[in-house]
Structure 1
């Protein structure tokens, strides 16, 4: 068929049908624009007011400008290398032009470049079937590769500057993807044609709603949060709050077996997020599963702190967290010995507590399990981009004014680590496609952010992330005790995840060379959340095991055996091997502590915006 014929049949290749275009409803346009005008004026007024009040962080709180200036200076010292990169880019681009021309003449051609496996931005068939969109896609991928290669090739940068330049270059590259713009996204164009542009009007309304939610800052809605309520359809495993202090409610879960393991199980979640990541729905609840395996499960539900808790430090979390929980568990069950799990920051707290207990000859915790936990922060991954002296000072000034770090700031940082999945995909869906976000329990939890007390957060970022003092014997003192992780002698189980952006597995693996007790390290597929919350019935992902623990994590991985499915049963076999003694099931309230509330308690229901 001739090119003219192809364009006169009422359709384009790649599924873009011109006959599908229709005009939007005039009444809808009128209502939408009136609403836009009113809400837009209110948002702008609020934004200008807040800008006039000034920002403690200054105009460049991340100090990106100085990093890129340093990078540019370094590049200019080697112009030949930069020229070589440019020549390679233009050669690839010329090949793409030639291939596109040949393809439009009907010749089959291979792509010059393909996106990485798993990149969902270009999943629509038109990105490949339509010559124009295929050209746009490959042009972008070539440009993205050129940008990243150039900045990564700058020589002489210190590690922190190089990491910052690389990270923010990728943020820019991700933002400029053609999938993020109306006229270069075939899926959005098709939707616009089908709805007569009503998708864009709805998208504008969604954008304004998100600006209103963020009080002038963009707070993207990732899920339909009206479909979830803590204690009703998520976090529903039966139990009771049996103890409460300023920082923690301790939940004891009801048994589901007639006999249980003698040793109770204490779980210390991170207080950066809420505990119910381990109790989202019955089908993926680690807490429910653990009760079904015969554990008497206790979970620390941390408070969502406000300015009244600004002076709570890391040692307060230790005293009012694991130490208080151990005392309460003994009162509730009569048992002094427990198995303990720490998740992420909760695992860091568990390691600190065990080192503290070792110095005091306290042996109540008999085994330790670490979910994606770092104790050696030398290679902290991309979170290190946000932790340098200038940014820490700006952050501390903010926290000093309020007494805490806003939960939204922490959430934004984590979302930036996976910008395509947690930012741009929703920009396309909500604002360009004009669709409502899909109800998803994990994203509801992700949006239920928590605040951080100023004193604790400053200590954590400076002493652990910035100075890496925890791994140094005696480098950190808590409650009068100098900590030495090497004195921890309890059996240890470590689960890390291969695609973790928050606690890189090669960094968490360093713990295998630190702890003094017998250690088992297991690596799960997927990331920081999905790799951990992976019930056996899901049939998802795999995990790797290796009985030896060489110093080099790559050497460990080369010798590891990949096993299909969840790692949970492997952990259950390990933890029961520590002590298989069984006792009659324990019901919350049967011990010396009177229940204070039904699970999931009251602390978990306090939202950062409350």
Structure 2
């Protein structure tokens, strides 16, 4: 017997109940007040929107306040100044013996581990070793100077440290052709052709930038990976469509399937096929080949006319509609649900709302790199503050959406060493060609974010942390993650700059349900796309029983041994353990006008 998810009528924002903070305007962009006040507010918004276009996610006032906060507290801390002076003196005397050519030594400096800019063996020879060591000593000094200063707000301290790191990385000797031994060697070997080829690539990149594309992941760089031809090719069909989603059902690959289907909810920030890349690393294909009936939500790429779609709309017309359709089409009374990144956050809100209303349509919930507590969002939090939001909100209000390319700039800054400077060195100075990959193709396929949706996400989840603190209202009523009682499988990644694993782990504090927590190697995307056979993969996994005592993340890490290989089989076995009998697969039925996977929404530019 199928179950339809009923939803209460609602109006307005999904924001928490109660009076709005002083100076906050309606999130849908309407101006209120007398005509002079409206005109003044419109002028302010348009001005902030111009600044938002010019400087992106880190507006000058926020950075200036951070530097002022740090410098004033440093001026009042003679002990800190003395410690920094001592560090300078010690670094100077450590560097002095290396001024002589005979001090050349190809040492394995611990600072160099994991830094590809200095991987070439010639960086261990004089005088390049001197430049390298001086660079790392400078980096170490500024790390000490911008951290551990009492009185500076954590947000300002992180911003100053981040800004200092950006400047130091920009001034790295690896970025200068006349100081980089790898580039000098290439120049000698090619007779300077590396600069000619690099210049051509630079000109190509400028054309792509003028066309509005990112030079690293533009369609031209990813031409070999077309959606529906090289990626997102697992056989399936769109079985439902509304103004926000297409629901894809994948064709069964086995003669019998588990009775509970799997519904996957990706993030709306990028396209769904991160979980259905090439056949060898497609999580969707892996599931259907192991006897699961899989449904996938494909979000529509919104334009200006979707500016007032908010979190409630995405919850109601996205997740709840998808759950209802999956139950109807599969004949299942309960289903497995999976959410990735912000899709997982929205799924957790939906699951809590269903538990609040005593609905039982969910058998389990799995979260991939999804935060439910945003008090420590990692380096992404550097771009999310009230000052930063003022300019960004005005920019989104003016456009009606946030363009994916604008969002990509923030993510590039988080990994500027690899995504900006190392790429520029290899492509412009060495003249090397970066071979496109399926993951690069997916990363290039950006989406837009509706004004109201993104504004509510930043305000309610990131800034107010309303979900974790029990102040978030979904469809007009409060939801609490403490109401969750279904089994949970939570996946976090070790090097996640979007959803740090200790932040993801905080779900243990918010729910007393059974939680199987898995920490895998890799980053936010590569850690999830971790197919069997992928070299160098490992993970840690343990289960906390329902109502069991809390274990802090560091203790959990120390007590949970690492295991080699992909985590996909362990999760798939967990799904089987929480499934019923195997049944014959049901034929796919679709409404008229629908099409084969990957559908139409994912192809919209």
- For Structure 1 versus Structure 2, the TM-score category normalised by the shorter chain is 0.7 to 0.9
* SS class of match (1:240): strand
Q: Is the 8 A contact 2:491 2:519 kept in 1?
A: yes
The equivalent of 1:471 in structure 2 is 468
Give the deviation of 1:58 after TM superposition: 6.8
Q: Is the 8 A contact 2:50 2:395 kept in 1?
A: no
1:72 & 1:100 partners in 2: Cα distance? 33
| Alignment counterpart, residue 172 of structure 1, candidates 167, 171, 179 | 167
Q: Where do 1:524-535 residues align within 5 Å?
A: 524-535=520-531
Q: Where do 1:376-455 residues align within 5 Å?
A: 376-455=373-452
Cα distance per residue 1:338-364 (max 9 Å; x no partner): 100001101101100011111222111
Q: Is the 8 A contact 1:411 1:447 kept in 2?
A: no
1:58 & 1:537 partners in 2: Cα distance? 45
Q: Is the 8 A contact 1:99 1:109 kept in 2?
A: no
| Alignment counterpart, residue 302 of structure 2, candidates 302, 305, 319 | 305
1:67 & 1:581 partners in 2: Cα distance? 58
| Alignment counterpart, residue 245 of structure 1, candidates 227, 233, 242 | 242
| CA RMSD in angstroms, aligned pairs only | 2.2
1:533 & 1:58 partners in 2: Cα distance? 35
2:563 & 2:133 partners in 1: Cα distance? 37
1:125 & 1:338 partners in 2: Cα distance? 54
1:188 counterpart = 2:183:
yes
The equivalent of 2:83 in structure 1 is 84
Q: Is the 8 A contact 2:106 2:121 kept in 1?
A: no
Greater Cα shift, 110-119 or 431-440: 110-119
2:459 & 2:115 partners in 1: Cα distance? 35
1:513 counterpart = 2:512:
no
The equivalent of 1:199 in structure 2 is 194
Cα distance per residue 1:311-362 (max 9 Å; x no partner): 1000111111111112221332222311000011011011000111112221
| Alignment counterpart, residue 363 of structure 1, candidates 344, 360, 364 | 360
2:71 & 2:211 partners in 1: Cα distance? 34
1:55 & 1:253 partners in 2: Cα distance? 45
The equivalent of 1:585 in structure 2 is 585
| Alignment counterpart, residue 156 of structure 2, candidates 154, 161, 168 | 161
Q: Is the 8 A contact 1:93 1:139 kept in 2?
A: no
Q: TM-score, normalised by structure 1?
A: 0.86
Cα distance per residue 1:179-200 (max 9 Å; x no partner): 1221111111222233333322
Give the deviation of 1:593 after TM superposition: 4.2
1:415 & 1:108 partners in 2: Cα distance? 35
* SS class of match (1:184): coil
Cα distance per residue 1:434-490 (max 9 Å; x no partner): 2322121112211211111000100000000001000122x1112122111111111
The equivalent of 1:606 in structure 2 is 604
Q: Is the 8 A contact 2:112 2:118 kept in 1?
A: no
1:342 counterpart = 2:349:
no
The equivalent of 1:554 in structure 2 is 554
Q: Is the 8 A contact 1:279 1:286 kept in 2?
A: yes
1:145 & 1:443 partners in 2: Cα distance? 32
Q: Is the 8 A contact 2:236 2:250 kept in 1?
A: yes
Unaligned runs of 5+ in 1: 1-50
When Rg is computed on C-alpha atoms for both structures, the one with the higher figure is 1
Give the deviation of 1:75 after TM superposition: 1.2
| Alignment counterpart, residue 485 of structure 1, candidates 481, 484, 493 | 481
The equivalent of 2:70 in structure 1 is 71
Greater Cα shift, 351-360 or 86-95: 86-95
1:187 & 1:216 partners in 2: Cα distance? 32
* SS class of match (2:239): strand
Which of 1 and 2 has higher RCO (CA within 8 Å, sep 6+)? Answer: 2
Q: TM-score, normalised by structure 2?
A: 0.87
Query: For the structure 1 residues 216 and 170, does the alpha-carbon distance in structure 2 shift closer, same or farther, using more than 3 Å as the test?
Result: farther
